[in-house]
Every structure is written in structure tokens, then in C-alpha cells.
Structure 1
């Protein structure tokens, strides 16, 4: 597969998806920050306007409260100053005077403040010039006289409506919003550019891994993904993939070894059969010799049949097929196997040291095969004077089976390979003893199928002990 095709900026690429997600997060974060700042600014300005009106109203009330006052309209308007304004109304809420920002819509301001409680700031949106917003507060003005000039005379308002144009800073706010949008856009471009660079650097380990995977796919089976001991995700991924490649290599090696060993095991009996048949075709077999040839042929066919049956059993167990789950007494099974071995090998000391019931759950023929293989191995691969003992003990939740001999033992370098299929030690497990080399492999597969464990302990000159542990079954299991 092409590396560029793997790591391109396609819609399905990891880099594009990460960059898209990062862009969404950046836009959301920056936009949220801009909106928050704008709202905070508007809230601050509104609070400032409200405070300004309230402070002005308080000063006005303080002045009016000292007694009758006379004020000139022009002086009153200039005293408050922009952006403030005043609307003076009589007791019937008629307009007597309006100045400053209140001059454009005095009626509306008088109306909205008439029903509001004294001292509360109210806002009339769009009432100001050019649609600006105006906030106002009503202040009672008993005893106040306003001189509007020689031509207009004086008025005595019942209340004053102080106003302020709250849109006076809209231009500042709009500029701030525009600048924030520009900052957001610039920050987004800069951050996305940095993200692209970081992603390119961060994806380099994946690119190297892809190149190595391509090399492995093209036949470089010894290649492995580069790893880093920094605990990074890419390092962990590389280690996991390397373990998978190693497992695959071991599996392929096992398959090749199994095929080679199987063909080797079948070659000897087939050669023997072929040799006898060739001799028969050449007329070299007559009378007793023919019977001898048929005996040898039958014996070799039996060896091949046994090998095929063992391989078929291992294949079924490797496929994970469930075994029969019956309540059994492992002691009864062991007693049967030991009795058979004592009859077949009367010269041997083969004993069962335990007679107490050992309930387990499983397949009786398969567990009996485990016992036969273990006892058979102990007998076949030790000298004639070697004693073999079978011991079964029961602990809470576990049943332990031990098959022990006091033979020559297995060397430490051979011990880790005893469960390998077709493996035989040169000295103690040569083909002179017979068998296919699958006995302990079958034992291990059957025990694992019963959710148990099997182990071998051996010392040169002191003998070998094979230990099988199985889960405890029903206490009511009887002999089979």
C-alpha cells in the first residue's frame, strides 16, 4: 500500500479529523470569549449609565430638598451636560421643558417614567436620535421653579425626568467587536497553522510505522515497528503491533514446524509399508514371510491412525470446542488407569497413593486420556526399575493430580519444550520408545479445555513430577 495514500489529507484521515475538531474547538472558544467580552462591556456600560443617573438624581433631590429653588433652564441643561438631558413635567405629566438628549422624545420619556416607581431607571429603546436608546429616572421636584427665559416665562414642574443616551458608546463597542473578530480570525489562522505543523511532527512515528508495515507486508518478516521508551501512545501502539507480528510469526513457525513434523512422522510408516509392498510385487514374500509383512504393515497403519487421531483431537481442542461437562470422580479414573498399567507392566511399581474421592467436572474419556498419557510417559521414558506414583489431593476449589517418578529426570534446557508438539529429547525421548511426540501436548490441551493448569518439575538424577490442577466439581460425583 502506498504511504502517501495512507497519510494523505483525505476526509477519513486522522490528521484532518483532528484538525477539524481543533478548528471547531478554537472557533467555539474564541467566539465565546469575544461574545463574553462584548456582553461584559455592555453590562459595564449599562451599569455605569444607571449609576450616573442615580447619582445625578440623588444630587438633584438633595438640592431640591433644601427648600424652594429657582433655576435657569439653560444653566440647568449645561450643569448636567451631555449625554444627560432633562424633561420637566407638571402634575398631569404634560411637558413643560426638555433639554439635551431628552429633547427628541420628551413625551415617550415622560410616559415610561410615569408608571415606574420613583428612583427606578427605565430604558426606552429607539427613542433617542437616530434610533438610540435612552434611559431615564423620575425625580419629584416640589418647590422648584425653572426660568425658561424672558419670552417663555417660568414653570413649576411637579417632577424632573433625568435622561441619558446609552448608545453614546455604541461606536466604541462596535469597534471593539470588529477588532475582536479580526483577532479571532488571526488567532484561528495562526493556531491552525501551528496545529498543522504539530500534527505533521506528531504523525512522523505513524509514518515510520506505516513504512515498516509495508516492508513487513512485502516479505521483510524480521522487520519490526520502531518503538520509543517514553510511554507515548504511538510507542504503546508500536509495541502492541510488534507483539501481534511476533505472535503471527510464532504461529506461522508452529504451522510450518507442525507440517514438517507431521510429514516426517508419516514418512517412516509409509516407507515401511511401501517397502513391504515392493518386496511383495517382486515375489519376495511367500508363506510365513507374507504374514510377517502383513503384521508390519498393520502395525504401521495403526501408528498412522493413532497419529491422525491425535492431530484431529488437538485440532478440535485448538478450535476451542467445549468439552463434555459431567460430574466425575478423578480418583476413580486414576484407579482404573493405574490398574491397567499394573497389568501391562507387572514388573513395574505403579501405585495410586490416594483413594479419597476427588470430584471434578469434565469429559471422562479425555481426562482418562490425560492419566494414560502421563502414566505411559513415566513408564516409557524411564528405566525398568523406576517407580511411578499417582497422587490426588483436594483443596477448596481445586483438585491436584501428581504423577511422579524417580527416574533420571529431564535436563533444564529440555524442560521448557516438553509440551511442544512432536518434540522428543535426544536421550530420554528417542523414537526407540515409540509414540508420536504428542502425548504431553495433548495433556496440556485437554487440561486447558477443562480450565485447569499443568506443569512439569524435574531434576537430573531425582526424577520428574507432572502436576495437573483442575477446578473442583460436584461433591456428589461417583465413579464412572
Structure 2
């Protein structure tokens, strides 16, 4: 026989928000109503018991006051009027037996139950001989009571108040309160169910929209109503997340397409030269040298592209860079000197004062400077001057690379840091470059907790400004 799994023995949890809220509200309401009913019943019972005892003692005081005036002879009617509104009275004769009873009849057993307990309120519950009541036995020496059988010299009078009637009253009250609680809970259940159905309707619509998005409707978004409610704010936040995810997916698709396109060109070139060699089209040593030179160049281009992609992937993953004290003046001096060797026809000048130090990876920061100066050389006409400015201001290291080239159109400025992007006019593939230079600059600067921005105007040049946290000068 298979034993049931423990998970099947556990009670199933409510899985819907509506069910949890509904049960929680009903439990709170039930606790409040039941607590209020119990407190009311206890208060009512205590009040009735206290009222009966006070009435009993007040009647006893009137009897004592009457006896204090001396011997008295009264009939049963007069005595009953004196102790009103006591429900019962029992007259005990001189021999200790019941001589007479008036009012609501109480069995004679009350005599033995109160014997020896003079002027004490006696509470009697659950005695089979008498109903539930409280009694007060008062000694009455000198009191003569006229009864239907003659005069009786009373040794004591027992005053009684039945409490079983009050208990019935409390029981009826509890029954009515239970009915009220039940009806109230049913009405509250129906009302809360209706309110929750209306109030949680936006969540249902949000779930339907989310299902549609998961099914492939990428343009679908959660409905918002502009009322700044919790559900509206949640829908807006989720829509922002979907938008960010959609942008990320679009960027990944574009990145994969651009990377494959960039790799396709050198691969096609290499494949073409190899096909030409296999077909016997390269017969002379000069042709073979030219083919190998082209293959080597395209392989180097692919290697550079793969290295740049690998660097971007590491930076995107947030992998830590080297951290040391870096002298930006020395890096900028080396970059400008190397650029002067590469482009001897250019006027490339460095404008700097005192050394500026930052905390970071020297090789990556030098790559930033190389990319910025290299871009300025590559995408401006021959003879265009290039200026590199380095300064420290307000605890920040500021690097500016400016040129007097044709500039970048305003509609293209928002895309200059996109990967594999080139402006149509000046940044074509024919002029070299992978389209990752500025993307690498931005990623490296952000990894150093800095910022980079670019300003440009058509026919008036371009300025790229890099800001990094500066270190205080060394002692």
C-alpha cells in the first residue's frame, strides 16, 4: 500500500490574492463581532447578578429598619409589599420550620440551605432541590406574621431572588447575538466579494496583458488609468520593465546582426583569396605575397574585432578592472606622441598643466585616449588640427579631445555610442574601424565611475569630454 506524500496531507494554501484578502477580512470581522458579543454577554450577566444582589440587600435593610422600631405584627401582604420587588419570601417559625411563603414560590429546602448563615447573601446554583437563586436569611425576633392559619412568631425571614430567569435572558441574548454575527458575516462576505472583484479587476487585466506579452505580443503593455493607485503604479513599473527588456532584446539582435556582418566581410575576403589560390589563379610569388598580405590583414581585423567584443562583454558583466594610481598626463603625452608618429601631417597638441591622477586601469584608460584621438584622426580631413586638454577641476579629472572637422549631424549625436554604428557621411566602413571605439570608451569610463559626453556641430568640429574622479596630488 502506497503511503500518501506529506505534501498531499498538508492543507492547500489559498493561492489568489482575492481569497487571502477575503479570508483575512472575514476573520478580522468575525473576531471583532464575536469578541464584542462575548463582552456584551458577560457585561449583561454581571449587571443582572449585581442588580439582583443589590435589590436583595436593599430589601433586607428595610426589614432590619422595620424591626429596629420594636416588636411588630404584620400580615403577609404587608411584608411582601415591604420587600418588593423581591420575588420570594419564606417565613421561618419559632421551631425552625417553614411557616409561610409568599411571592414566587421557592421549595422549602431553602430553609436548610440557608440555616446558620444569617444576613449573608447565599448563591445557590445547580441544586436539584431549588432553582438557581440568591437568598438572604434575616433574623426577626419580635416579629409576628399573620398568615392564613393564624399568627406566627417568626424566627427568621428568607428573601430570595431567582437568577435562573436572568440566565435565560443571557442565553436568549447570546442566541440573538450569534444570529446577528452570522447574518453580518454573510452580508460582509457578499459585499467584500463584490468590492474585491471590482477592486482587483485591474490585476486581472494586467495578468491577461502579461500572458499576451509572454505569448509573443511584444507591443502589448499592461493597462494604466492615470489614477496613481497602487495597481496603476505597479502596471507602470512593469511596463517600464517590459520596455527595458524589449530594448535589451532589440540591442542584442542588432548587436548579433552587426557582429555577424562585421565578421562576414573579412571572412568573405579570406575565403575569396583561398578559392583563387585553389583554382590556380595565384601563380607568381608576387601574387601569393599579395594574397597572404590581404589574408593576414583581414585576420588581424577579425582578431581586433573579437578582442573588442570580448572587452565589451567583460565590461558589461561588471568584472573588476585593475586599480592603481594612474598619471593621466603621462598617458596623454604618450598617446599624443604616438599619434604624431602615425599621422605626421596632423597638428596634434596636448594642453595640460600639473599632473592629474586617478584610480583605475592604466591600460584601459590609455585605450580610451587612443580611441578618442584615433577617431579624430580617422574621421576628419587631412591637415585638421586636433587638441587634447587635460585639467583637474572640483575633484574631477577632465579630458577633452577636440577637432575642427566636419562634425556630426545633430540627429546622429544620440547614436554615437551605439555599437557598430557609423554615420553615413564620415564614418563609413571604407575609412576603417569596427564601430566599437566610442562604445568601448563609454564602457571603460563608466567602469571607472566617470562620464563621457560629446558635442558637435556640422562644419564646426567635435568635442568629446571625459570626466573621472580625481585623486589628491601625492605628497
- Length-normalised TM-score, structure 1: 0.83
Verify the 8 A CA contact 2:55 2:85 in the aligned structure 1.
no
- Any idea what SS the aligned residue of 1:353 has? strand
State the shift of 1:144 in Å.
5.6
Verify the 8 A CA contact 2:60 2:83 in the aligned structure 1.
no
Match of 2:295 in 1: 297
State the shift of 1:128 in Å.
9.1
Residue 426 (structure 1) aligned to one of 408, 411, 424? 424
Verify the 8 A CA contact 1:104 1:128 in the aligned structure 2.
no
CA distance in 2, matches of 1:164, 1:258: 96
CA distance in 2, matches of 1:366, 1:113: 107
CA distance in 2, matches of 1:175, 1:325: 84
Match of 1:211 in 2: 208
Matched, 1:46 2:43: no
- Any idea what SS the aligned residue of 1:465 has? strand
CA distance in 2, matches of 1:110, 1:341: 125
Residue 267 (structure 2) aligned to one of 264, 270, 274? 270
State the shift of 1:163 in Å.
4.2
Residue 194 (structure 1) aligned to one of 186, 191, 195? 191
Residue 34 (structure 2) aligned to one of 31, 34, 42? 31
1:2-13 mapped onto 2 (5 Å cutoff): 11-13=14-16
- Deviation larger for 249-258 or 196-205: 196-205
Shift of the 131–471 alpha-carbon distance from structure 1 to 2, 3 Å rule, reads farther
Matched, 1:236 2:233: yes
CA distance in 1, matches of 2:398, 2:116: 99
CA distance in 1, matches of 2:211, 2:441: 40
Shift of the 56–341 alpha-carbon distance from structure 1 to 2, 3 Å rule, reads farther
Match of 1:393 in 2: 392
CA distance in 2, matches of 1:139, 1:122: 12
- Deviation larger for 203-212 or 255-264: 203-212
CA distance in 2, matches of 1:65, 1:472: 107
State the shift of 1:258 in Å.
0.8
Show CA shifts across 1:251-308 (max 9, x none).
1111111111111111221222222223323333313232222222211111110000
Match of 1:80 in 2: 83
Shift of the 98–377 alpha-carbon distance from structure 1 to 2, 3 Å rule, reads farther
Verify the 8 A CA contact 2:407 2:459 in the aligned structure 1.
yes
Residue 367 (structure 2) aligned to one of 366, 369, 381? 369
Residue 318 (structure 2) aligned to one of 302, 317, 320? 320
Verify the 8 A CA contact 1:452 1:470 in the aligned structure 2.
yes
Shift of the 247–156 alpha-carbon distance from structure 1 to 2, 3 Å rule, reads same
Shift of the 104–323 alpha-carbon distance from structure 1 to 2, 3 Å rule, reads farther
CA distance in 2, matches of 1:367, 1:344: 20
Verify the 8 A CA contact 1:374 1:403 in the aligned structure 2.
yes
1:109-124 mapped onto 2 (5 Å cutoff): 109=114, 123-124=123-124
1:220-259 mapped onto 2 (5 Å cutoff): 220-259=217-256
CA distance in 2, matches of 1:436, 1:332: 27
Residue 307 (structure 1) aligned to one of 300, 305, 308? 305
Show CA shifts across 1:11-43 (max 9, x none).
423332222223322321222222222223223
Residue 464 (structure 1) aligned to one of 462, 465, 469? 462
CA distance in 2, matches of 1:335, 1:111: 119
CA distance in 2, matches of 1:346, 1:122: 123
Task: In structure 2, list runs of 5 or more residues that go unmatched.
Answer: 1-11
Match of 1:18 in 2: 21
CA distance in 1, matches of 2:329, 2:153: 125
Show CA shifts across 1:196-241 (max 9, x none).
3333333432332333333323322222222221122332232222
Shift of the 95–346 alpha-carbon distance from structure 1 to 2, 3 Å rule, reads farther
- Any idea what SS the aligned residue of 2:293 has? helix
- Deviation larger for 298-307 or 203-212: 203-212
CA distance in 1, matches of 2:172, 2:21: 34
CA distance in 2, matches of 1:144, 1:409: 130
